[in-house]
Amino acid sequence: MDAISVIRTKRDRGRLSDAQIDWVIDAYTRGEVADEQMSALAMAILLNGMERREIARWTAAMIDSGERMDFSALPRPTADKHSTGGVGDKITLPLAPLVAACGAAVPQLSGRGLGHTGGTLDKLESIPGWRALLSNDEMMDVLRSVGAVICAAGDGLAPADKKLYALRDVTGTVEAIPLIASSIMSKKIAEGTGSLVLDVKVGSGAFMKNLEDARELASTMVGLGTDHGVRTVALLTDMSTPLGLTAGNALEVRESVEVLAGGGPADVVELTLALAREMLDAAGLPDADPAKALADGSAMDHWRRMIAAQGGDPDAPLPVAREQHVLRAETSGVLTELDAYAVGVAAWRLGAGRARKEDPVQAGAGVELHAKPGDRVTAGAPLLTLHTDTPERFDYALEALTGDAIGITGGTEGTAFAPTPLILDRIA
């Protein structure tokens, strides 16, 4: 085998053989295939695609590059969830303890934010003392005692993906659907969960901007999970406007706790319950009632125990940014547009996100929404509050919110607004 022949096969729109895929993933992980050669292959895959059999084999080779976890010793069925990322997407925080309160075990391996999309681990690290890095034994102990854990993936899970993802990020090949699907699913399958629910975001604040591409990605990932014996289902959900009323680390933790206390924004509650029902059904617990677990406090109890088990203090005050700036409505009418991408970029520029994986984040930075599309606003009323420790960032963040990012239509009672459904499709 040699890298050039593998590259030429895909460059010429051929199908990679199982042997070619196994070899190139293993050789690249070991350093025998150079970054520039794998870059060329990734670009060929982006341009020419892969058949389902190729994607399945590529995913299997990524899994085989490292260890596989085993949760068969747990007394509960396992269910996990993965979101393709969005703005204000704090769903994992209330979802994991909620599903645990209903009888499933949730081994939630999560990541950090990059660019305009927030990271679950960054959000939770705003809680004093909370630890993202757990050993496999510690992870199992938390799952046995609490039923849910949210932590970072260890270096032993799909190391080929870690190396390839970093390369794709700097070579313009992130958008390749076969590589997106195999990247997500290799880690989730190696993680060892028995069932998986995918939240595939669609819209300006998502990676997939249109429904057709989102369906293709969701179908590919559902197929991969099925091929590897993991019961998998996907929901396609709207990300044209931010989820909830906050985008930022401590801001989103605060909002998640409100949901667990029986309150919170209606869209966050709706999506949390929809994903919980899918996870419980996939885990073989279709009769469990997540709405009841929210109402009776058992989900909150599991949240507090989960945070404490990972060193956090669930009663500690969350960080608050030192400076705020209020953006007000310029006219009266109905708010018809609040672009998710623009809000995400603003939060990122305020310090809530990072441009490189090594960058620090501000726990208290972000954007707070005072209205959502469909709400009536009056001139001079607050639309957004910007939070940061470094006020020199305000002007740069406000630049992201100009132009078509915010739309207010009409000033009469008769202004019509047709909201986009939160859940757009289901693929199983």
Residues 203 and 252 in one domain: yes
Note whether 340 and 303 are same-domain residues: no
Is 396 within the bounds of a domain? yes
Residue 297 in this model has a pLDDT that exceeds 90 = yes
If one counts every other C-beta atom within 10 angstroms of the C-beta of residue 12, the result is 9
Q: Which CATH number fits the domain that encloses residue 398?
A: 3.90.1170.30
Is it the case that residue 415 has pLDDT exceeding 70?
Answer: no
Are 17 and 140 contained in the same domain?
no
Within-domain flag for 147? yes
Q: Does the annotation count 161 as an active-site position?
A: yes
Can you give the pLDDT at residue 166? Answer: 83
The predicted model scores a pTM of: 0.93
What would you measure as the largest C-alpha separation in the chain, in angstroms?
A: 70
Query: What total of structural domains would you count in the chain?
Result: 3
Residues 149 and 262 in one domain: yes
CA distance 398 to 338: 13
Q: How confident is the model at residue 83 (pLDDT cuts 50, 70, 90)?
A: very high
In terms of residue numbers, what domain contains 359?
323-409
297: Cβ contacts below 8 Å, ≥ 6 apart: none
Mean pLDDT, the chain, integer: 94
Q: Do both 182 and 331 map to the same domain?
A: no
| Pair type for strands 195-202 and 231-238 | parallel
E-assigned strand segments in 111-207: 148-152, 195-202
Q: Is residue 427 part of a domain?
A: no
* Angle at alpha carbon of residue 75, lines to 159 and 187, rounded to 5°: 15
Annotated active-site residue 322? The verdict is: no
Q: Is residue 123 part of a domain?
A: yes
Instruction: State both tokens at 3.
Output: 């890298």
Give residue 172's pLDDT band: very low, low, confident or very high (50, 70, 90): confident
Are 289 and 205 in the same domain? Answer: yes
For residue 411, pLDDT beyond 70: no
Catalytic residue among 39, 182, 183, 195: 183
- Answer yes or no: 231 catalytic: no
Q: How confident is the model at residue 408, as a pLDDT? A: 94
Domain CATH for 25: 1.20.970.10
The lowest-confidence range among 154-163, 200-209, 281-290, 410-419 is 410-419
Catalytic residue chosen out of the listed positions 81, 82, 112, 393: 82
User: In terms of domains, do 202 and 333 share one?
Assistant: no
Gap between the Cα atoms of 422 and 271, Å rounded = 8
Nearest partner of 76 among 159, 160, 193, judged by Cα: 193
Has residue 167 been placed in a domain?
no
Alpha-helix runs per DSSP H in 297-339 = 298-309
> Does one domain contain both 221 and 345?
no
- Amino acid identity of residue 191, one-letter, is E
Residue 412 has pLDDT above 70, yes or no: no
Q: Which of 109, 129, 128 is nearest to 119 (CA)?
A: 109
Please give the pLDDT value at position 170: 81
Of 70-79, 105-114, 319-328, least confident by mean pLDDT is: 105-114
Which of 269, 286, 309 is where one domain is finished? 309
Spatial contact of 76 and 103, defined as CB atoms under 8 Å apart: yes
Catalytic residue among 89, 122, 161, 227: 161
Cα separation of 143 and 120, whole Å?
Answer: 18
Catalytic one of 57, 168, 201, 231: 168
The question of whether 168 is a catalytic residue gets the answer yes
Which residue is catalytic, options 57, 123, 187, 349?
Answer: 187
Q: What's the pLDDT band for 419 if we cut at 50, 70, 90?
A: confident
SS3 content of the chain, % helix, strand, coil (to 5): 45, 15, 40
Same domain for 395 and 352: yes
Q: Are residues 40 and 110 in the same domain?
A: no
Q: Check residue 33 and give left, alpha or beta (phi > 0: left; psi -120 to 50: alpha).
A: beta
Let me know whether 181 and 135 are in one domain. Answer: yes
C-alpha pair distances (Å), 152 with each of 110, 111, 123, 130, 132: 5, 6, 13, 12, 5
Q: Residue 104: what pLDDT?
A: 98
Residue 52 annotated as catalytic: no
Residues β-bridged to residue 325: 386
Residue 385 scores a pLDDT above 90: yes
Is 419 inside a domain boundary?
A: no
Q: Where residue 418 falls among pLDDT bands split at 50, 70, 90?
A: confident
Rounded to 5 degrees, φ, ψ at 295 are -70, -35
154: left (phi over 0), alpha (psi -120 to 50) or beta: beta
Please return the burial class of 149, using the count of CB atoms within 10 Å of its CB with bins 0-12, 13-18 and 19+: buried
Residue 152 is assigned to a structural domain of this protein: yes
Predicted confidence band of residue 259 (pLDDT cuts 50, 70, 90): very high
> Residue 64 falls within a domain, yes or no?
no
Residues 218 and 335 in one domain: no
User: What is the pLDDT at residue 22?
Assistant: 97
Residue 183, domain CATH: 3.40.1030.10
